[in-house]
Structure 1
Amino acid sequence: MSSILNKLQQKLAEREAQGNLRHLKTTTGLVDFCSNDYLGLARSEKLRALIKEEEEKYRYLPMGATGSRLLSGNHLLFEELEATIAAYHKAEAALLFNSGYTANVGLLSALPQRGDTVFYDEASHASMKDGLRLSFAKTYAFRHNDVADLRQKLKHATGQVYVLVESVYSMDGDQAPLKELSELCREQDAALIVDEAHTVGLYGAKGEGLTVELGLEEQVFARVLTYGKALGGHGAAVVGSQVLRDYLINYSRAFIYTTGLPTHALLALKCAYTLLPELTPAREKVKALAKQLYLKLNKLSGICCTPADSVILSVFLEEAAQLKPLANTLQQQGFDVRPVMSPTVPPGKERLRLIVHAFNTEEQITGLEKAIAKGT
């Protein structure tokens, strides 16, 4: 036992020496520029009240699913919510998973087969890459948002071809060129899979996501919708055809061999979907505030802030070693800001990751900009 503990401690010491050792921490009372609660639903008293009302209506259900959905865990609320999700996102069917990570792993470990080829954007989320590791398909990365590089690499594809992207990337905050990608996939008879974790709630007339906003729902084979961000809840769904849903029920081990979501989580999503259509002002406000912060920060010396059209902003400094001290200074001044270091991002791409929310104020935006200016 001691030998293995020594090996683990050595690995931790190596990461600490690199300045990248992770720690859990809690923060209270700080201005939130860190969480994925884009629209404020996770703190919404209106949503909380709706959930409480719905819980009374569904008191006949157990609090937990009690088992996998193929055994004791399925009930009518699952089926009703999946029908709502499919219709809302203009898809034929939906299947709930217990998290965005599980959804990506469950989809991508089950779908590509031996002899198939998968091309994924090099900036794709870790859950997508981990899912591919469990498949038997050949996998290749293409340069971030580089359609020409993907076109070149598609020449070497065999079997069924899949292309994986995020509609908005979780670290860089930039959009995938979905129109160009969907056209290329149509030409090459490739199946396009889009992770919409950071666009659900924010894009589309009713928050349906970027795919729907662009009118591409019929060109995308599968979408992964994550609910721990703009919807303020938990869980995820894969939306696509009824055949895809039936296939995943039969072949996705991440779905088959796990207990279903608890009743409260389902009711939270059900209620969040009832609120989404009325949140257009919040969607407009958060994007306007993010634009203000982007413009303010790019006027500062020694700072580069990207991208120009996202609520996820990356602040790059001339020296990555300055990031952690700056984040600590900002937290001491009341702003919850976190550095993102390697290996979460590639070496040389370390940054402060700022998230703007609909509940932030113009005064907070100005205060953060001034604190960053003073801290650098």
Structure 2
Amino acid sequence: MRDFAAELEQRRDQGLYRQRREVDSPQQPELVVDGRPMLAFCSNDYLGFANDPAIIEAARATLSSAGLGGGASHLICGHHRAHHELEQTVASFTGREDALFFSTGYMANMGVISALAGRGDTIFSDRLNHASIIDGCLLSRARIRRYPHGDTEALAEQLAGTEGHKVVVTDGVFSMDGDLAPLAELARLCRTHDALLVVDDAHGFGVLGEGGRGSLSACGLGQDDVPVVIGTLGKAFGTSGAFVAGSSLMMDYLVQKARTYIYTTSMPPAIAAASTASIRMAMAADDRRAHLRNLIDRFRRETQAMGYALMPSDTPIQPILIGGAAEAMALSRALEGHGIWVTAIRPPTVPQGESRLRVTLSAAHTEAHLDRLLQALAVCRQEIGLTAA
């Protein structure tokens, strides 16, 4: 039998041990963490919707009329009117014919990718894609070819040398780097080489594009360019679950083939109703997006002036590149000593030597919140003796 205790101890020694923290408050910038007040810069609640009264009320009203549990899978008796209304709202929001509501983003990626490719097919996956995309590719049993991050020339060579059914899958916004995929060029390559393009825009929806319609909207791309788009509702929309949107034919195909949709109990109707309300609010949230944009610009300007190394991101995901896992943990702990919660991201989530603090900004943060973060970063840099980038 494997020595599991020894493996855990090794992770501790390497600075890679992970621990859960207990939050005893609603999701918002000012949290109670393990019984202590903290100012958080590690949530994906980009628009500050997770504790919004109007969205909470939409869930509460549906609880009264529809009850709590989904009861069964969508294909048995679990497909409620609230689910249908959410899917119609998602389709309209994304500019597509139809949509499906999945229980989680992880399940959406695994179900969609493994349904769209199988034995004898080839999937082309960006090397920095999210773990759920990687696992969806593995589950498909298709041949997997990984191309260097954002390298469309390398991808073009791979596509040109491959026969049969081809699927290209990428994040829209990369969750650990915050940068955008070269979506327009990916769409062009897929048209040229008769490949199906699938984009997971979990971190783009709500934040980028007109009305928060995501990175595809920001690039001027529609359903003909990107036939399948995936999004999560647990980030900028502040609720839970995920969706996939595309043509009616494609959604019908996924109803027949996506195992993570077919064989799981549907999400509570109240969550669907809250998500519908949230999407509608997000479309009208230009003021929040403008405030968030100002926070991002100020954060980048002032942290770089301190000597911190930032990654090339214009999104709310602002990684501070540190390098070693131990050093990243030291900075995270130092910030916590000042009441600031920013998590250190270490291997295997990121490559060796690229450990970082993943700062995420929200429209719910105020300028005063950002003042506190910047002041703490300046002090902690000196406290731990962090050298210049």
Matching of residue 8 in structure 1 with residue 4 in structure 2: yes
Residue number in structure 2 paired with 1:141: 146
Q: Deviations over 1:219-273 (max 9, x none)?
A: 0020111011000000001101111111111111111110001122111112112
The alignment's TM-score, normalised by the length of structure 2, stands at 0.91
Deviation at 1:308, TM superposition (A): 4.3
Of stretches 261-270 and 346-355 in structure 1, the one that deviates more from structure 2 is 261-270
Q: Deviations over 1:192-229 (max 9, x none)?
A: 11001001111122111111232212200201110110
Of stretches 45-54 and 78-87 in structure 1, the one that deviates more from structure 2 is 45-54
For residue 38 of structure 2, the aligned residue among 12, 30, 35 is 30
Residue number in structure 1 paired with 2:371: 366
The amino acid across from 2:178 in the alignment is G
Structure 2 portions without partners, runs of 5+: 24-31, 382-389
Matching of residue 77 in structure 1 with residue 82 in structure 2: yes
Structure 2 CA distance for partners of 1:370 and 1:142, relative to 1, 3 Å: same
Aligned counterparts of 1:14 and 1:308: Cα–Cα separation in 2:
33
Confirm or deny: 8 A CA contact 1:315 1:352 kept in the other structure: yes
Aligned counterparts of 1:296 and 1:184: Cα–Cα separation in 2:
38
For residue 172 of structure 1, the aligned residue among 171, 177, 193 is 177
Residue number in structure 2 paired with 1:336: 341
What SS does structure 2 have at the residue aligned with 1:134? Answer: helix
Structure 2 CA distance for partners of 1:165 and 1:294, relative to 1, 3 Å: same
Aligned counterparts of 2:199 and 2:77: Cα–Cα separation in 1:
31
Confirm or deny: 8 A CA contact 1:67 1:259 kept in the other structure: yes
Matching of residue 41 in structure 1 with residue 49 in structure 2: yes
Residue number in structure 2 paired with 1:191: 196
Confirm or deny: 8 A CA contact 2:16 2:325 kept in the other structure: no
Residue number in structure 1 paired with 2:157: 152
For residue 241 of structure 1, the aligned residue among 243, 247, 270 is 247
Confirm or deny: 8 A CA contact 2:58 2:277 kept in the other structure: yes
The amino acid across from 2:71 in the alignment is T
Aligned counterparts of 2:218 and 2:206: Cα–Cα separation in 1:
11
Q: Deviations over 1:115-166 (max 9, x none)?
A: 2111110000000010111112111110111111111221222211111111
Confirm or deny: 8 A CA contact 1:204 1:210 kept in the other structure: yes
Confirm or deny: 8 A CA contact 1:124 1:169 kept in the other structure: yes
Deviation at 1:54, TM superposition (A): 4.5
Residue number in structure 2 paired with 1:20: 16
Matching of residue 321 in structure 1 with residue 317 in structure 2: no
CA-based RMSD of the aligned residues comes to 1.5
Identity of aligned residues (%): 35
Residue number in structure 1 paired with 2:236: 230
Structure 2 CA distance for partners of 1:308 and 1:226, relative to 1, 3 Å: closer
Aligned counterparts of 1:148 and 1:206: Cα–Cα separation in 2:
32
Pairs aligned (count): 368
Of stretches 328-337 and 163-172 in structure 1, the one that deviates more from structure 2 is 328-337
Aligned counterparts of 2:334 and 2:247: Cα–Cα separation in 1:
49
The list of structure 1 runs, each at least 4 consecutive aligned residues, that deviate by more than 6 angstroms after superposition, is none
Residue number in structure 1 paired with 2:136: 131
Q: Describe how 1:86-105 pairs up with structure 2 within 5 A.
A: 86-105=91-110
Structure 2 CA distance for partners of 1:153 and 1:346, relative to 1, 3 Å: same
